[in-house]
Chain A
């Protein structure tokens, strides 16, 4: 290096120094943009979650009212030593009504009485019936029994009703408030965990409505979806990536798969209605058809992500396998697929999560029906969680508002469980 080049070097480092400040400033700015973006995302997520949880958590509690019920045989229309069948069809409603009248003897007039009866759930008589059948010794005696409160009175007991509002603007009337306060003062009200929400199917009465049908429906539907979409998707991806000749036909297939991923989901619903229900005569409203339709929707996602995962497997693994004399098939199944499996699972879980949240195509195939009985298999009528959310969100009763949010919480819980399972499986497949 001679002396004449020294100033040059000096000049360079000056120029670099000058640009450094700018470069670092740009980097810092970029980091702040990133933080801001993440923060915005978090804020929205927080608002969403807060809204859902704050609205939904009361749905997990149910108010009960303790009533002294006189299970008088005459009132029940029962002969002594009644059979179970007779017990089943006895007049429990009459007993409940009589008991309520007994507790509040000064209530008169048809309207007031009706208001009084509305303190308790319509389902209270069935609770009472079940108790009577289970324990016939109660018959003929007066017992204190906890009965399910009506959703309106329950909502008052949960503190959701503003008593200062004009009476005409609220569904819990002044009289009812008076009775409820009286009951509360006597310690005859109680808040319990709402088991029925998880054990019942849908109902017209918010306090009786449960998520079980939708939960099972979603489970069965996704089971069918996974059973169909995962093997077909993975095998298609393997074939297209590893075995298919590269020509116009495979190009065409590839383009079509990519396009399929962009088809609106309701179109798949129409297809399911036309083909599976009308042509193949599969049962309506069944998770089987729902699962098939959703698997069609999920397939492109699984194929595309699986192909990407297979593509990203290092060629050196393939060479190693082929180099010791593995056949192409052995190479794929022993080495490529296990290495690609975490990626494939990630793609599948994205597809399944999409399917879980899908409601439009299921509306088309009748999974929007009002179903009270828990499905026992994939051919029983059922509904799914997002459709249940949609149904409840449509109902005017206050009780359903909280049920809607609670159903969303259950849906998110389902999603978390599903994702956790996927993460666990991925960890197991991931190479140590």
Chain B
């Protein structure tokens, strides 16, 4: 590795060992790679074609195309800074709130153009919900946290309906039994894992079609993580889920398809089993076998 290359790298990883392996610093020609595997599916729930994302002058995502199938769980993995979270956030236009961020490409949700002029972000985000890395309940009561989405969208016509929605959402997020006696307590007083499940309840309260999860377990302990993973298994019956994760075990456990991102490029997509047992690309293999990342 030459020093010039290092100086451009945003990563501090130093030791590549004596054997020359493709590691995350070898990004000079990454953009030239073609995506290996099967990024496209029949009748996708969401599809993204030729996506380029820029932060100012810096390009964060290079020509990524990926479909998300109906009722599937797709995991996006890759080293830090690979663009997986950025890609995820393009799917419900959360990047719109970053002024310097520019998104190119064709996106659709059930055939509707996500970035179309007539697409309302409010409606889009009601259809494509999101759970964030850090549990971020509103500083309001547990009930209000869940009821907020349905209330602003006018989904409940009276208190009874709202109560039903709240209870149902909390049940689906497998949180109801733990909080049913303290619905008026602040959501921020719950434990980290409970908070994250509350955020999931909040997301599903507006009955989205797709749930985007951006490293939902990275701030949680293993027990809380296991509960969220069980929950994802449960939720995939009704929802399409795209999850970004740093944990390969988690990707392997919860997802049906896995997409490996590397420095803004989608390197490989495939059945989770195949990606983890027989990765086709050297970068994927190196990442999965723990050579870097």
Contact = CB atoms under 8 A, between A and B. Distances in A.
Interface of A: 246, 314, 316-327, 330, 334-335, 338-339, 431-432
Interface stretch (B34-42, B174-182, B198-206, B222-230): B198-206
A422 B97 CA distance: 33
Contacts of B186: 431-432
Most buried by B among A320, A326, A339, A431: A320
A243 to B, nearest CB: 12
A432 B187 CA distance: 10
19 contacts: A314-B136, A316-B132, A316-B136, A317-B138, A320-B202, A322-B94, A323-B94, A323-B130, A324-B125, A324-B126, A324-B148, A324-B203, A324-B206, A326-B122, A327-B122, A334-B148, A338-B139, A431-B188, A432-B186
A335 B140 CA distance: 9
A394 B140 CA distance: 54
B16 interface: no
A165 to B, nearest CB: 67
A323 B129 contact: yes
Query: Chain B: interface residue count, which band?
Result: 20 to 34
B149 interface: yes
Contacts of A318: 97
Contacts of B131: 323
B119 to A, nearest CB: 13
Contacts of A323: 92, 94, 125, 129-132, 203
Given A319-B94, A320-B199, A330-B152, A325 B122 contact: yes
A335 B149 CA distance: 12
Most buried by B among A316, A322, A323, A431: A323
Nearest to A431: B139
B106 to A, nearest CB: 23
Given A317-B138, A319-B94, A325 B152 contact: yes
Interface of B: 92, 94, 97, 99, 121-126, 129-132, 134, 136-140, 148-149, 152-153, 186, 188, 199, 202-203, 205-206
B108 to A, nearest CB: 19
B149 A324 contact: yes
B154 to A, nearest CB: 11
A325 B94 contact: no
Contacts of A324: 125-126, 129, 148-149, 152, 202-203, 205-206
A55 to B, nearest CB: 48
Given A317-B139, A320-B136, 17 more contacts: A317-B136, A319-B94, A319-B97, A319-B136, A320-B137, A320-B199, A323-B125, A323-B131, A324-B148, A324-B152, A324-B202, A325-B125, A325-B129, A325-B153, A325-B206, A326-B152, A330-B152
A336 to B, nearest CB: 11
B263 to A, nearest CB: 25
A170 B140 CA distance: 68
Contacts of A432: 186
B113 to A, nearest CB: 18
Contacts of B205: 324
Given A326-B152, A432-B186, A321 B138 contact: yes
A1 to B, nearest CB: 20
Nearest to B140: A431
B134 A316 contact: yes
Contacts of A334: 148, 152
A270 B81 CA distance: 58
Contacts of B124: 325
Contacts of B152: 324-327, 330, 334
Contacts of A339: 139
A248 to B, nearest CB: 15
B136 A325 contact: no
